[in-house]
């Protein structure tokens, strides 16, 4: 973390960048938040630790409009989102100075809480420099421990790899934390009967409060104005009066980012209701991989996305019914 801060100071001082896009200390030990830093003094609040899950690439859309360059900190998986935004002409590569920061998996406070650890005062083992595999958590009820891996975000268990796909310089080591199959959850649902599937999603989606956190955090959901806010489809945001609304919203949201979603997992991370929203996006990714060939959005900034492309002998839609 110190290395990042020193480098940021240097870049600010020598005028390479006008500001730094990173994370600052939050009001609790586990909720750092995205922030701009314009001076060396600001950087005193800079933090980079196991709780800095937030993907900063989307902030670059606005930062691209600002005067001067912005130093942006991207974790390996964030860099995919950034690349995708370049492909879509949403961010200006020339306005960004990308510092690829090391990552050894990010933590999910909800998992810690679910483990029955409440009243947290401080957590150690979350710094990038810590080699510890165990989190030591001080709580008002006494000291607790939890293994780092058990507290990781779902997305880190299916990590895309420790390499950044775009950067200007790298600071810190990364670790591939993949220890689960990416599509295992999807396959489990696919194997359910239609009734079970329906009940599963009904239960999950009925929790949705349409707070739009998923939409706001999603780097692919970067429309100036969402169709659910505009009058173009007679779909402007309505109160959540029926179960269909969420289905429609989440299906369309997933469809609109299909072929563009890098599977960064931010939607699930920020959902205050804990809805596993990545299950929608990842289903599309799985289908795309199976039907049209392996595709990872954001792996490059040039290739055609699967929904703006085709082959003459693509599968027919009847494949859905045929595979049962």
CB of 114 to another protein, least distance (A): 25
Instruction: For the chain, report the end-to-end CA distance as a whole number of angstroms.
Output: 51
CB of 241 to another protein, least distance (A): 6
Q: Which is nearer to another protein, 131 or 233 (CB)?
A: 233
At 237, list the tokens: 């945001």
Element (H, E) at 183: none
Q: Cβ of residue 200: shortest distance to another protein, in angstroms?
A: 7
| Contact set for another protein, span 284-323 (CB under 8 A) | 284, 287-288, 291-292, 304-312, 314-321
Q: Which residues, numbered 145-204, are part of the site for another protein (CB under 8 A)?
A: 189-190, 192, 194-202
Per DSSP (E only), the strands in 108-245 are 120-124, 134-139, 142-147, 169-171
Q: In terms of CB distance, is 97 or 280 closer to another protein?
A: 280
Residue 161 contacts residue 103 (beta carbons within 8 Å): no
| Burial group, residue 316, by CB count within 10 angstroms (0-12, 13-18, 19+) | exposed
**95 is a contact residue toward another protein (CB under 8 A):** no
- Looking at beta carbons only, is 159 or 285 nearer to another protein? 285
Question: Residue 141 or 198: which CB sits closer to another protein?
Answer: 198
SS3 16: coil
By the 8 A CB rule, do 268 and 278 touch? yes
Tokens describing residue 4: 């990042």
Round to whole Å and give the CA distance between 56 and 21. Answer: 7
What's the rounded Cα separation, in Å, for the pair 298 and 81?
Answer: 6
CB 35 within 8 A of CB 17: no
CB of 289 to another protein, least distance (A): 12
Choosing from 216, 230, 273, 289, the residue that interacts with another protein (CB under 8 A) is: 230
Give the three-state DSSP class for 148: coil
Q: Which of residues 109-128 bind another protein (CB under 8 A)?
A: none
CA distance 186 to 35: 34
Residue 257 in contact with another protein, rule: CB under 8 A: yes
Min CB(101)–another protein separation in Å = 27
- Choose between 20 and 254: whose C-beta lies nearer to another protein: 254
Instruction: Give the footprint of another protein on residues 10-39 (CB under 8 A).
Output: none
Stretch in the footprint of another protein (CB under 8 A) among 52-60, 71-79, 101-109, 239-247 = 239-247
Residues making contact with another protein (CB under 8 A): 65, 88-90, 189-190, 192, 194-202, 222-227, 230-235, 241-245, 247-248, 251-252, 254-258, 280, 283-284, 287-288, 291-292, 304-312, 314-321
């Amino acid at each position: 973390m110190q290395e990042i801060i020193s480098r940021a100071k240097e870049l600010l001082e020598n005028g390479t960048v006008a500001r730094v896009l990173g994370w600052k200390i939050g009001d609790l030990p586990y909720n750092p938040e995205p922030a701009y830093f314009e001076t060396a003094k600001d950087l005193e609040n800079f933090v980079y630790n196991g709780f800095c899950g937030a993907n900063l690439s989307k902030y670059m859309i606005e930062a691209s409009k600002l005067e001067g360059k912005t130093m942006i900190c991207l974790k390996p998986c964030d860099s995919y989102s950034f690349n995708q935004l370049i492909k879509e002409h949403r961010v200006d590569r020339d306005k960004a100075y990308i510092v690829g920061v090391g990552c050894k998996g990010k933590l999910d406070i909800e998992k810690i809480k679910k483990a029955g650890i409440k009243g947290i005062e401080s957590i150690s083992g979350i710094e990038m420099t810590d080699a510890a595999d165990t989190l030591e958590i001080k709580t008002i009820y006494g000291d607790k421990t939890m293994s780092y891996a058990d507290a990781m975000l779902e997305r880190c268990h299916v990590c895309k790899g420790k390499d950044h796909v775009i950067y200007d310089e790298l600071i810190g080591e990364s670790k591939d934390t993949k220890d689960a199959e990416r599509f295992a959850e999807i396959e489990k649902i696919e194997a359910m009967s239609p009734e079970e599937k329906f009940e599963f999603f009904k239960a999950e989606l009925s929790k949705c409060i349409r707070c739009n956190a998923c939409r706001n955090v999603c780097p692919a959901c970067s429309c100036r104005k969402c169709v659910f806010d505009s009058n173009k489809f007679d779909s402007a945001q309505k109160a959540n009066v029926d179960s269909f609304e969420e289905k429609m919203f989440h299906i369309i949201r997933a469809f609109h980012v299909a072929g563009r979603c890098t599977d960064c997992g931010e939607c699930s991370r920020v959902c205050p209701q804990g809805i596993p929203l990545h299950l929608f996006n990842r289903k599309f990714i799985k289908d795309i991989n199976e039907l049209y060939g392996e595709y990872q959005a954001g792996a490059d900034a040039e290739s055609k996305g699967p929904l703006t492309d085709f082959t003459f002998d693509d599968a027919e839609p009847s494949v859905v019914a045929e595979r049962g």
